[in-house]
Amino acid sequence: MYLLPVLEKAISMERQAILHEINLALTSTLDLHAVLDLLLNKIKILLPYSAATITLLNKKTGIFEPIACWNIDEHEWKSVATMESDLKARSSENAPVLVRNIQADIPSPAFEFLRKEGLAAYWPVPLVAGQEILGALTFFTREKQEFSKKESQFLSTLASQVAIAIYNCQLYELMKNQAAELKQANQEMEESLGIISHELRTPLNVALACVSLIKDEVVGDINPEQKKLLEKVIGCSNQQIDMINSLLDTTAMESGNIRVNRQKVNLEAVLAELRVTYENPLQRDSSLIWDYPPDLPIIETDGHKLKVVLQNLINNAIKFTPEDGITISARYLAQRREVKFTVADTGIGIPKDSLAHIFDKFRQLAGSETKIYGGIGLGLYLVKKFTQLIGGRVEVESEIGKGSTFTVTLPCDSEHLLEC
């Protein structure tokens, strides 16, 4: 007399264990097809029913589309799976609905298919997540049987687990698609920016060459006032070219098209070239202090990127230092096999709350009277990115009213350069 309760308890415990096992399986992946395969594999072990199918609601068409099935002819089932498209109307209260008389309730093509499969009744359980119907988990039987309250609760619980798993998969897929679309949009924007920057630089270089010829009196004499104006034009044009070059470098950086060109670099030659550039009276009204020994080592690095880093640091110091007070130094740290470059100024300084953001893209520093200094906010961004690419590190110390010191430390060999 105690056999039936004991049997029911055993069945209940078995179902709870399987629900737990299915839940673990469904939460182990965000791949929708893997989730459905896992589910159907568990169903065929667990349930005594003859077949099972899964349909998902297409939000655009409002039709429940066939996705996966077990123990029936998949090809034929997909051709008549619209028999479940009325699920939304049948399950307004999100409860399973047993269709006992297939011949009376199912359209003819679907009935013929089910009859051929030997199926007599089916039970569509809605897959609901957050009041939203996602689809149906349908169980088919070969006999017109009733389902007990416990069986109904079990199937509803199972469907709830499946619905949550499907919802998470769909949400993950949506996020992946949005991320891919955003990446594509960013790439297209960066490519467009690169084209625009290149097209801006080309005519500007031509105009600069023409103005330089006039200033140098190649095409005729000019008076001192005209020469000063032309020098001003050349200075502004060089600034524009620097900004365009920064845009091009940033575009290449963001699109992943930038490369590290490893080569032997003579540091003394790099610094001497920079020194000549900044001693040009068109670049600055006052002089810079250059402090480096004549025996700096030849290191293996990307010379172009090192030059861009130092130029941007010097330009940054000039921008915020109205008078003399800028020192560029270099030292070889033999024990550490590193070279340290320092650009120190006595300019306006950087507020402490801005130090964490000065290397951000398009970041511009405002003065005490909210004056925005020139530039487009890419110089220090490129300093940090290029320094990292060639295996170095950049640090900054600053105090309001006393100036800033930027330090770039680089390895002497190429083993620390990043692969790109």
What is the average pLDDT across 339-348? 93
**For residue 56, what are the CA distances in angstroms to 71, 87, 111, 265, 363?**
19, 11, 21, 62, 47
- The residue length of the chain stands at 420
Give CA–CA dist 151/10, Å, rounded. 14
- Residues 32, 33, 39: CA angle, nearest 5 degrees: 90
CA within 13 Å, CB half, 131: 0
Q: Would you list the domain boundaries of the chain? A: 11-179, 261-420
Summarised one tens digit per residue, pLDDT across range 104-145 is 555 556 667 777 777 777 777 888 887 788 888 888 877 766
Residue 348 has pLDDT above 50, yes or no: yes
Residue bearing the bigger pLDDT, 192 or 128: 128
What is the average pLDDT across 344-370? 77
Spatial CB neighbours of 132, under 8 Å, sequence gap ≥ 6:
167
Confidence class for position 180, pLDDT limits 50, 70, 90:
confident
Give CA–CA dist 282/216, Å, rounded. 13
Amino acid identity of 342? T
Confidence class for position 211, pLDDT limits 50, 70, 90:
confident
CB 53 within 8 A of CB 69: yes
CB 353 within 8 A of CB 372: no
pLDDT score recorded for residue 107: 54
DSSP letter for 147, please: -
Token pair of 52 as six digits: 């099972």
CATH number attached to the domain at 261-420 = 3.30.565.10
Residue 87 has pLDDT above 60, yes or no: no
Other Cβ atoms closer than 10 A to 212: 16
Q: What backbone phi and psi angles, to 5 degrees, belong to 251?
A: -60, -45
Other Cβ atoms closer than 10 A to 307: 17
Residue 4 has pLDDT above 50, yes or no: no
Give CA–CA dist 176/178, Å, rounded. 5
Give CA–CA dist 40/62, Å, rounded. 24
Token pair of 406 as six digits: 């930027």
- Residues 198, 199, 203: CA angle, nearest 5 degrees: 110
CATH topology of domain 11-179: Beta-Lactamase (3.30.450)
Between strands 393-399 and 403-411, the pairing is: antiparallel
Spatial CB neighbours of 376, under 8 Å, sequence gap ≥ 6:
243, 246, 247, 362, 364
pTM of the model: 0.52
Token pair of 189 as six digits: 């924007």
* 394: three-class secondary structure by DSSP: strand
Summarised one tens digit per residue, pLDDT across range 233-280 is 887 777 777 777 777 777 777 766 678 888 899 999 999 989 888 876
Token pair of 412 as six digits: 């002497």
CB 65 within 8 A of CB 85: no
Residue 18 has pLDDT above 70, yes or no: no
Residue 407 has pLDDT above 90, yes or no: yes
Helix (H) or strand (E) holding 171: helix 149-215
Residue 416 burial class via C-beta count within 10 angstroms: exposed 0-12, middle 13-18, buried 19 and up? middle
pLDDT score recorded for residue 397: 93
Confidence class for position 366, pLDDT limits 50, 70, 90:
low
pLDDT score recorded for residue 190: 67
Strand ranges (E), 42-131:
51-58, 63-70, 121-129
Average pLDDT, whole number, for the chain? 77
Confidence class for position 282, pLDDT limits 50, 70, 90:
very low
Q: What backbone phi and psi angles, to 5 degrees, belong to 342?
A: -130, 130
Cα 151 to chain center, whole Å? 46
Confidence class for position 45, pLDDT limits 50, 70, 90:
low
**For residue 232, what are the CA distances in angstroms to 147, 222, 286?**
90, 15, 16
